[in-house]
Amino acid sequence: MPEEINANKPNNRYGKISVIMPVYKVENYLDRAIESVLNQTYLTNHLGEVEFILVDDGSPDRCPEICDKYADRYPFITVIHKENGGLSSARNAGLDIATGDFIAFIDSDDEFMPRMLETCVRMMISYGADIAACHFYNKYDGLPLSKHLPDIETVVLDPYEAVNTLLENRLMTDHVWAKVFRRSAWGGVRFPEGKIYEDITTTYKTFLNARRIVLFSEPLVVYTHRSDSIVGDADAEKRLFLRFERFRAERTRYEDIKTMRYPNKAAAFDAAENYAKILLETIWYEPDTGSADMRKQAEEEAIAFLNSEMEQVRNNPKRSRLYNYRIRLMTQHAPFYKKMILPVINAMRRLRKKLAGE
């Protein structure tokens, strides 16, 4: 635990950063995550103030005690204890009391690299940007860290270019914890409570509040993949739920973006269409996945969406004519597809698995 931090004598050269960490059932990871913030060069080199907000989201383990231990030791740490409301609710609680010039998020099972905050703020100042977006490492048990995205040249984007880059999902992801924001980017923006995949329906809105976004490929966050996390458990019931929620998030974002003049509506539709197809395939190819009620509702919503956007399906430039024809069969002729085509596809899948020795 860093001893040299003196929050009472910061050189406020770059301004104040509010770091928001939602906390729930992560007692085995929490110390490491908190220490990664305390070890930031932004703090240890006294480059500016840090307001560290720990939001205990009604955690039933030792997390509340751990949060209070750090708050007792460091006056710049604030702890909110609240009833469980989910990740979005916890982040919003932190946003509502944040006073920093900049906003950063970190999940309580992840880690910041030591120069995360300093590098992002320096990039924002150097390029006159309101948001800095970096890359990150994936961390799996027993494996070395792996970089999530390819290296790129640093690029400065206007809001619409940034949204388009986000939608393409090749050079930048939606994750808010891989970014530092000027506080103004969060004006009128909050996370949707009671939802997962909350970053999909939120991050692009902060881009539209920004003048410029600087994107660079230095990995400054370690993203821990846990089997017991919200999206890590792959049991059949949860798999359908997760894919249903991902489709709903992509659909919500597309329906918002298609009302705007500039962002790439085709890219937004492509993501929503893709997850509608994945959802239908999960329902039809994995008959034991999820409850009957959830399967019925998910199938109805996916087919209704694709049918309502059939002109986009027909003209999707990213898909082949055969792919687009298959989507039309799956939606406009679903009973025929399920009765005549699906059994053939499932038989071929079983044969491939048998030949592969699975």
Assess contact for 90 and 23: CB atoms under 8 A: yes
Q: Report the pLDDT value the prediction gives residue 234, as an integer from 0 to 100.
A: 56
Q: What is the dihedral of CA 34, 117, 145, 21, to 10 degrees?
A: 40
The CATH number linked to 161 is: 3.90.550.10
Kindly state whether residue 9 falls inside one of the protein's structural domains.
Answer: no
Is the overall model pTM greater than 0.85, yes or no?
yes
Q: How confident is the model at residue 307 (pLDDT cuts 50, 70, 90)?
A: very high
Judge whether residue 78 has pLDDT over 80.
yes
219 lies in the same domain as 172: yes
Report the amino acid identity of residue 58: G
Assess contact for 324 and 313: CB atoms under 8 A: yes
Q: Report the pLDDT value the prediction gives residue 249, as an integer from 0 to 100.
A: 97
329 lies in the same domain as 196: no
Q: Report the pLDDT value the prediction gives residue 220, as an integer from 0 to 100.
A: 98
Q: Report the pLDDT value the prediction gives residue 320, as an integer from 0 to 100.
A: 86
Highest mean pLDDT among 71-75, 145-149, 325-329: 71-75
Q: Number of structural domains, the chain?
A: 2
184 lies in the same domain as 67: yes
Supply the mean pLDDT for the chain.
Answer: 91
Q: What is the DSSP letter of 337?
A: I
Q: How confident is the model at residue 1 (pLDDT cuts 50, 70, 90)?
A: very low
Q: Which domain holds residue 149?
A: 17-224
Q: In b/e form, how buried is each residue of 286-314, taking b as 16+ CB within 10 angstroms?
A: eeebbeeeebeebbebbbebbeebeebbe
H or E segment and range at residue 81? strand 77-82
In angstroms, the CA 54 to CA 233 distance is 25
217 lies in the same domain as 245: no
Kindly state whether residue 2 falls inside one of the protein's structural domains.
Answer: no
Q: Report the pLDDT value the prediction gives residue 351, as an integer from 0 to 100.
A: 85
Poorest-pLDDT segment among 9-18, 95-104, 133-142, 298-307: 9-18
Which tens digit of pLDDT belongs to each residue from 107-122?
A: 999 999 999 999 999 9
CA distances from 269 to 173, 256, 285, 317 (A): 17, 11, 24, 11
Query: Last residue of a domain, which of 198, 224, 250?
Result: 224
Kindly state whether residue 5 falls inside one of the protein's structural domains.
Answer: no
90 lies in the same domain as 159: yes
37 lies in the same domain as 184: yes
Kindly state whether residue 168 falls inside one of the protein's structural domains.
Answer: yes
Which tens digit of pLDDT belongs to each residue from 264-300?
A: 888 899 999 999 999 998 998 887 888 899 999 999 9
Q: Can you tell me the mean pLDDT for 314-342?
A: 86
Range list of β-strands (E), 113-207? 131-139, 146-147, 155-157, 179-182
Percent of the chain with pLDDT over 90: 70
Q: Can you tell me the mean pLDDT for 7-21?
A: 80
140 lies in the same domain as 29: yes
Give the angle subtended at the CA of 326 by the CAs of 321 and 332, to the nearest 5°.
120
In the block, which residue shows the tokens 């050269």? Answer: 13
Q: Which residues contact 319 (CB under 8 A, 6 or more apart)?
A: 270, 327
Kindly state whether residue 326 falls inside one of the protein's structural domains.
Answer: yes
Q: How confident is the model at residue 182 (pLDDT cuts 50, 70, 90)?
A: very high
Query: Last residue of a domain, which of 199, 224, 249?
Result: 224
210 lies in the same domain as 333: no
Q: Which residues contact 314 (CB under 8 A, 6 or more apart)?
A: 324, 328
203 lies in the same domain as 267: no
150 lies in the same domain as 188: yes
Kindly state whether residue 21 falls inside one of the protein's structural domains.
Answer: yes
Query: Last residue of a domain, which of 224, 257, 277?
Result: 224
Segments in the chain forming alpha helices (H) = 30-38, 41-44, 63-73, 87-97, 116-127, 159-168, 203-208, 236-257, 265-285, 292-308, 310-314, 321-332, 334-336, 342-355
299 lies in the same domain as 348: yes
Assess contact for 331 and 306: CB atoms under 8 A: yes
Percent of the chain with pLDDT over 70: 94
209 lies in the same domain as 242: no
In angstroms, the CA 241 to CA 234 distance is 10
Q: Report the pLDDT value the prediction gives residue 338, as an integer from 0 to 100.
A: 85
